[in-house]
Structure 1
Amino acid sequence: MALAAISCGEKAPEQVPAAKPKTYSSPPPMTIDTGKQYTATIETEKGSMVAELFAKDVPETVNNFVFLAREGFYDGSTFHRVIPGFMAQGGDPTGTGMGGAGYKFDDEFTGHKHDAGVLSMANSGPNTNSAQFFITFAPQHGLDDKHSVFGRLIEGMDVLEKLTPRDPNQNPQFEGDKILRITIEER
């Protein structure tokens, strides 16, 4: 049995249980107030990222993300696909890139572009959004009007850059960096 020594004043690493895949029968009812501002704090093993969410522009998408975050859906899941210079993808509790929330919802396209630090929905084609999302490392304008942009990082681009590169197809045994939790603030 191995024991880890923690000296006075040091914190032991936070133990977060693995994500438990949950599924729902349909997209959540609209519960956000599009007149309010929403931010998401994405706490990871490498630090925290804070994103402003575009509730007024893409209400269904933000409502979905807020609902899943508040349900703890993302807690303990990983960034299962991280391609430096492109994007980091998370939101799949199975860690394979194949999991979701059990339902799909329509795309919402606005004037928001895939600039660096943008949060956008991962999908498998038109109107197949569920739970998976990605954050861009650099502008990816080839994704505009194919994936719904729903937020942008206002803090933590340095944390994004620290995420460990990962491709679940090349090394399915390697677990990506964990999302400890996502908390939502409403103002």
Structure 2
Amino acid sequence: MKKMNFMMLLLASVSFLSCKTAKYPELGEGLFADIQTSKGDIVVKLHYKETPVTVANFVTLAEGKNKHVTEEYKGKPYYDGTIFHRVISGFMIQGGDPTGTGMGSPGYRFDDEIVESLKHNKKGILSMANAGPATNGSQFFITHVPTPFLDGRHTVFGETVLGDAVIDSIANVKTGANDRPEQAVTIKKIDIIRNGNEAIEFDAVKVFDNYVAERNRKEQEMEIKTKAQSEKFLSEIKVQESQAKVLPSGVKIFMLNEGNGEKPNNTQEVLVNYAGYLTNGTLFDSNIKLVNELYGKYDIKREEMEGYKPFPMPYHTSANLIPGFKEGLLTLKVGDKARVFIPSALAYGERGAGDVIPPNSDLIFDIEIVDIVQ
């Protein structure tokens, strides 16, 4: 009798477990998200093997297990009760922001996971919304049509397997200002479905925790390298400024390299590499990729816009450049590289430059003329 009771209990347990995924028995093996909206369900298959960090972020937020959210969101299913705040028919539907404004954040950002084979090539692609490279948070969108112009810019981490008609229904609602639906379309909840051993063994919490720990380690390592680089720079300029040639204006020029190229004339443009520093060793701008990497300021978006290449500048006294930079530039010929010490009055003076250069800041520029624009 005891054995029979045990078998009945076991069978009941198996039956209960089966019922948990019986809602969509046709899904097969994999990791899925059942996005239950006020317009119906959208079921997406998550690419947890190809984009593990992005999927781990989504899953931990959906299940309320993400440890890195701000205090108000801890222990709560993050997406429950949120809305699709931006809807554009013939483009996409966007949600994932608890504030419903498009400005909300879980309290952190994480890197892109761009996979060449995962593209915005059809309706139902699940992808991360962002404000540029490495600005992912909680917001996501689902495509209404193919959007190939988003490839390489947004992380694709899933695709719809059920619910295309629901996407249509949401995409075609009436919208007002900022593409916001006039009647809210709500995400009631998101259930994560794990079918098969591999999906069950995917530990989203561990994956995301490990990512954050590794990112923090790299950031600390970069801080140490940047500090060492700044200290090296400060020790160099202490000697170099004392040995620099002083111009009547007060600008000081220390030659880092003497070139053997021609001297440009005042009708020409020159191609220039530059790096600008505050006197405390802080790099505030450079068009040299290596310099930005040394100081932890490399920007992939800038590289995509070809911002790390010699910059064309007019080689004459009426050039629209700060006076001290212009004066230093006009002393150089092709191949010359100089470190130019500029008094604040010949830089940005009392006004400074936004939140980058404080008022009354002396500046230091490394300037190199690479070539003459032909």
TM class by smaller structure: 0.7 to 0.9
Q: Which residue of 115, 118, 131 corresponds with 1:112?
A: 118
Give the aligned partner of residue 161 of structure 2.
154
Q: Distance in 1 between matches of 2:88 and 2:148?
A: 16
Q: Distance in 1 between matches of 2:180 and 2:163?
A: 27
Higher helix share: 2
Using a 3 Å threshold, how does the CA distance of structure 1 residues 175 and 168 change in structure 2: closer, same or farther? farther
Higher relative contact order (CA 8 A, sep 6+): 1
Q: Matched residue of 2:41: which SS?
A: strand
Residue 130 (structure 1) aligned with residue 137 (structure 2) = yes
Contact 1:49 1:157 in 2 (8 A): yes
Cα deviation for residue 186 of structure 1 reads: 1.2
Amino acid at match of 1:178: T
Residue 182 (structure 1) aligned with residue 190 (structure 2) = yes
Q: Matched residue of 1:85: which SS?
A: coil
Q: Matched residue of 2:36: which SS?
A: strand
Query: TM-score, with normalisation over the residues of structure 2?
Result: 0.39
Residue 103 (structure 1) aligned with residue 112 (structure 2) = no
Amino acid at match of 1:161: D
Amino acid at match of 1:40: A
Using a 3 Å threshold, how does the CA distance of structure 1 residues 134 and 168 change in structure 2: closer, same or farther? farther
Cα deviation for residue 168 of structure 1 reads: 5.3
Give the aligned partner of residue 61 of structure 2.
68
Q: Which residue of 89, 92, 96 corresponds with 1:91?
A: 96
Contact 2:32 2:193 in 1 (8 A): yes
Q: Matched residue of 2:50: which SS?
A: coil
Q: Distance in 1 between matches of 2:179 and 2:127?
A: 24
Using a 3 Å threshold, how does the CA distance of structure 1 residues 120 and 171 change in structure 2: closer, same or farther? closer
Unaligned runs of 5+ residues in structure 2 are 1-28, 65-76, 196-374
Q: Which residue of 37, 45, 48 corresponds with 2:30?
A: 37
Listed one character per residue, the Cα deviations across residues 143-173 of structure 1 (whole Å, up to 9, x for unaligned) are 001000000000001001111243553669x
Q: Distance in 2 between matches of 1:184 and 1:52?
A: 10
Q: Distance in 2 between matches of 1:45 and 1:175?
A: 11
Contact 1:97 1:168 in 2 (8 A): no
Unaligned runs of 5+ residues in structure 1 are 1-35
Using a 3 Å threshold, how does the CA distance of structure 1 residues 89 and 48 change in structure 2: closer, same or farther? same
Contact 1:119 1:149 in 2 (8 A): yes
Listed one character per residue, the Cα deviations across residues 53-90 of structure 1 (whole Å, up to 9, x for unaligned) are 00000000000000011011000000000100100000
Cα deviation for residue 37 of structure 1 reads: 2.4
Number of residue pairs matched? 151
Q: Distance in 2 between matches of 1:144 and 1:170?
A: 22
Query: TM-score, with normalisation over the residues of structure 1?
Result: 0.77
Give the aligned partner of residue 58 of structure 1.
51
Q: Distance in 1 between matches of 2:131 and 2:176?
A: 17
Q: Radius of gyration: which is bigger?
A: 2
Contact 2:86 2:180 in 1 (8 A): no
Compute the RMSD of aligned alpha carbons.
1.6
Q: Distance in 2 between matches of 1:60 and 1:168?
A: 34
Q: Distance in 2 between matches of 1:165 and 1:118?
A: 22
Cα deviation for residue 100 of structure 1 reads: 1.5
Aligned structure 1 segments of 4 or more residues deviating by more than 4 angstroms: none
Cα deviation for residue 175 of structure 1 reads: 5.1
Counting aligned pairs with the same residue, the percent is 50
Listed one character per residue, the Cα deviations across residues 20-67 of structure 1 (whole Å, up to 9, x for unaligned) are xxxxxxxxxxxxxxxx82100000011001000000000000000000
Q: Distance in 1 between matches of 2:52 and 2:125?
A: 16
Using a 3 Å threshold, how does the CA distance of structure 1 residues 139 and 184 change in structure 2: closer, same or farther? same
Contact 2:54 2:157 in 1 (8 A): yes
Cα deviation for residue 176 of structure 1 reads: 2.8
Amino acid at match of 2:125: V
Q: Distance in 1 between matches of 2:120 and 2:176?
A: 21
Q: Which residue of 36, 40, 64 corresponds with 1:47?
A: 40
